[in-house]
Each structure stands twice: as structure tokens, then as C-alpha cells.
Amino acid sequence: MNNLGLTCISEELKDKDKKKYSFQTMTRKRFNDLCVRDGKNEAIEELSQRILHNVRVTRYIIRHCISNNILHYRLSSALFPLVTDEKTEVTLNDLPDKVLIQEELEFAGKIAKDFGISIGSHPDQFNVLASANRDAVSRTINELNFQASVLDMLGLPQDHTAPMNIHINYTPQADETLEVIATRFFRNLSMCDKGVYKRLTIENEDKGFFNVDNCIKFSDYLFETFNANIPVCYDNLHDFCNPSEDHNVSFQAERCAYTWVNQGEGDNDFLAPVFHWSEGTPEKPRSHAEYFALGNSPPHIAIDPKKEVKWECEVKGKDKAIRLLRKNSYCS
């Protein structure tokens, strides 16, 4: 089962050295307190050191993926704390370790490329390109542009082999149709950088309007009306919580896989989709379990035999869960 992907954190590395292999964050309150106590330059220095630590942890995790035959990795959304926070007013250019950070990312990306590790990202749920609120859209564009720049610094291609996956995260208002929402989504997406436009995917949600059926209709409308290729990232747990009419995992995953069209020049082949595999807990079905239940393996989906779906494992056990899932699959 080499089509399993690691999301964000390596629990196995953290077991070896929690401090060395954990991502560091910084809250706005902590930053402001440091500004008051030590001055803004000192606060930025500490933030810069934490971000440099985080990009090094990313490189360690990519090497861990290589050692364990994990061929896909989703970047942590905690990589650059506060850098897109409008109230903090700190950018990458303000960081004294900017050059080192960029060099670390470039090196990590080269390692991933040399060993065939694909990399994607999943910006936080506050990103709402379908919103009619201009302030929310402006913040979203700023965040997505920065996330795309991180993928660029890693040297990753500007296409869906390095996907940026988001939720539409919007509830239709009054008489709003899917077409109206999709048109606004496209208009806002068109204001993003090319690196966003070429990488963006959308994910079926665990509640509300955008289940698998409506995400596929949304993607189809964008493609047919605006020639915008926005594939659907299938999430099995969300599909369980917010099912479409035909709730069959393999069927729905294959439907989503057909939205992953390669828009390279003169090439209409399908890409290897990146999907999510998880399961909930009995008490909270929408919450990720620690590990997969015995026998709960993702289906084999491959529109092109050479481009099998990559399943990002979203249970809390991370790489521990991947190891156990593989072991149980081999033993069954």
C-alpha cells in the first residue's frame, strides 16, 4: 500500500524527539507581548527562528517519508505562523532568516523530487473564495497566494500534482443557485496568483450543501463555463457524514477521479488524484479516530493504471496509523 500519504505531522519522529520534530507556533498575543517586552525586532527574530525550525522539520519529515516508502506528504498549515496575519503586519521579507528559510525549502523540495515524493497543501477552512464578503475574500486571496508561494519555494510545479485543497465552505443564501456561487468563486479565484489558479482543488464537506454530488456539479460548471479546471478531492469521512444519493465509496471516489484532468499543452490525460481517507469515532462521527479499524483500507482507484489515487491518511495516528494499516493489509 504505497499510495498512502502522510498529513502534516510525523508521530513516529515525535516519539524519538518531540522538541526536535514538532512544529512551533506563535499566537498573536505572544507576539504582541514580546513586542511590548523586548521590542518588535526581537519579536520578529523569535518568530523567524520558529519558522526556520518548522521548515527544517518539514525536511526531516520528507526524509522520513522516503525511508518508509510514503510517497505523498501534505504540508503543515502551521509552517508560517502569523506571516499572513493582517494585524501582526509581518511578511516573509521581514524575517531575518528569510534566505535560510528559502534555502531550506528549496532543498526539501529537491529531496522530494529526487525520490518521487509528491507534496500538497490544505489551507485552513477560513479561506472562502465563494463568499460575497469582500474582506473575507481579500484575506483568502492573500492567504492562498502565500501558500502557493511556499509551494513555489519548494520548486513544485504549478499544477495539480502539487494540489492546494480547500473547502468551498459556503451555504447558499435565499435563491442563490450553484451557478451563481460558482461564478462568484471563479471571479474571486481569477484575482489570485497563477500558482493558486493552477493548483486549486475543492473538497466535499461533512455537512451542508457541498456534498460529492454538488462539488462535482460545481467543478463541471467551472470547467464548461470558464474552462477552469478545479478537480474534486474526495473525502470518505465527509461523504459518510454528508452523503450523496448513491453512497458507495468506490463509485463516488471514481466520479471525483474523473475531474482530475491534466491541462498541460496537448495532453488531456488524467493526473493521479489526491484524496482523503479517514474514519470517525463512535461518539463523534465527524471527528477523526486515532487509528483505522481492522479492514478499513482505501479502495484501489486508478483511471490511468500508472496514476493511482494517493490517499492522505487523516486519522490522528498519522504515520503510526499508516504502518499499522499496511501491516494489517499484508496479514489479511
CATH of the domain at 25: 3.20.20.150
Average pLDDT over residues 117-138: 94
Average pLDDT over residues 278-286: 94
For residue 139, the SS3 value is helix
Report the candidate in 180, 166, 81, 176 with the shortest Cα–Cα distance to residue 128.
166
pLDDT at 266: 47
For residue 284, the SS3 value is coil
Over residues 48-103, the pLDDT tens digits come to: 999 999 999 999 999 999 999 999 999 998 899 999 999 999 999 999 999 999 99
DSSP bridge partners of 276: 235, 312
Average pLDDT over residues 146-150: 97
Q: Band of the pLDDT at 225, cuts 50, 70, 90?
A: very high
Joined grid coordinates for residue 39: 521590542
Q: How far apart are CA 317 and CA 8, in angstroms?
A: 11
Give the chain's domain count: 1
Helices (H), the chain: 11-16, 18-21, 28-38, 40-67, 98-114, 134-153, 178-189, 194-197, 212-226, 236-241, 249-257, 319-331
Supply the range of the domain harboring residue 115: 4-331
pTM beyond 0.75, yes or no? yes
